[in-house]
């Protein structure tokens, strides 16, 4: 009878491998969760920032009013302004400057609802921002105030995250139409206090 060498793992080797995998998962899974949360927050903030950048650029290029407004129907064939920012928003040429999507107005960008788990707090519950043909903010149109600050956060709230910055984001639009994103914890808290709102 020929001898046959047994190929495989011993019980000790298998148990050691399982223990190592368990330790790696124990360390890696929480970090992966934080990575996903940060990615969602960054995407939400960058999408809004890029929408403002597009609106400002197109207003000067086309010499037309451009409006950004919250829209619960942003992905419909004929979207309209109305709803909240977390439901979605649209950027469009606002030919008559009435802050409403109407006949002859052209949609430049449609943004669907924000990522699940992200909440937004908007100063004065504003639902729009308008750019004039000069690329500057139009200010208050009618009785509605334009958007000025938006705080975006998730279940972590306004805590210090990796890198020393807040887990939340503060989007600021100046009256002239310049948009920026801030991550300072104190600045975000001041904005929330001014709004009388919390995060999340």
Domain map of the chain by residue range? 11-195
pTM, 2 dp: 0.84
Closest CA to 110 of 150, 69, 140: 69
Query: Residue 7: what pLDDT?
Result: 67
State pLDDT tens for residues 109-143. Answer: 999 999 999 999 999 999 999 999 999 999 999 88
Q: Are β-strands 66-70 and 128-131 bridged in parallel, bridged antiparallel, or unpaired?
A: antiparallel
pLDDT of residue 194: 96
Side-chain half-sphere exposure of 111, counting CA atoms within 13 A: 28
Distance set, CA 40 to CA 36, 108, 141 (Å)? 6, 23, 32
Q: What is the pLDDT of residue 142?
A: 84
**Three-state SS annotation for the chain:** CCCCCCCCCCHHHHHHHHHHHHHHHHHHHHHHHHHHHHHHHHHHHHHHHHHHHHHHHHHHHHCCCEEEEEECCCCCCCCCCECCHHHCEEEEECCCCCCCCCCCCCEEEEECCCCCCCEEEEHHHCCEEEECCCCCECCCECCECCCCEEEEECCCCCCECHHHCECCEEEEECCCCCEEEECCHHHHHHHHHHHCCCCC
Backbone angles phi, psi at 120, to 5 degrees: -125, 140
As a CATH number, domain 11-195 is 3.55.40.10
Task: Enumerate residue ranges in the chain where pLDDT < 50.
Answer: none
pLDDT of residue 12: 75
């Amino acid at each position: 009878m020929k001898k046959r060498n047994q190929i495989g793992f011993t019980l000790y080797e298998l148990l050691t491998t399982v223990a190592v995998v368990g330790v790696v998962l124990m360390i890696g899974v929480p970090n992966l969760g934080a990575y996903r949360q940060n990615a969602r927050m960054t995407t939400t903030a960058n999408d809004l920032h890029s929408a403002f950048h597009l609106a400002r650029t197109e207003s000067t290029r086309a010499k037309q009013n451009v409006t950004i407004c919250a829209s619960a129907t942003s992905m419909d064939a004929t979207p309209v302004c109305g709803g909240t920012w977390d439901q979605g928003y649209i950027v469009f040429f606002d030919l008559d400057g009435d802050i409403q999507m109407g006949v002859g107005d052209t949609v430049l960008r449609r943004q669907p609802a924000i990522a699940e788990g992200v909440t937004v707090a908007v100063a004065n519950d504003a639902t729009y921002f308008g750019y004039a043909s000069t690329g500057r903010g139009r200010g208050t149109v009618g009785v509605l105030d334009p958007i000025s600050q938006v705080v975006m956060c998730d279940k972590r709230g306004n805590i210090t995250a990796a890198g020393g910055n807040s887990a939340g984001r503060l989007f600021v639009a100046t009256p002239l139409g310049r948009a920026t994103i801030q991550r300072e914890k104190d600045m975000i808290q001041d904005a929330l206090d001014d709004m009388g709102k919390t995060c999340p």
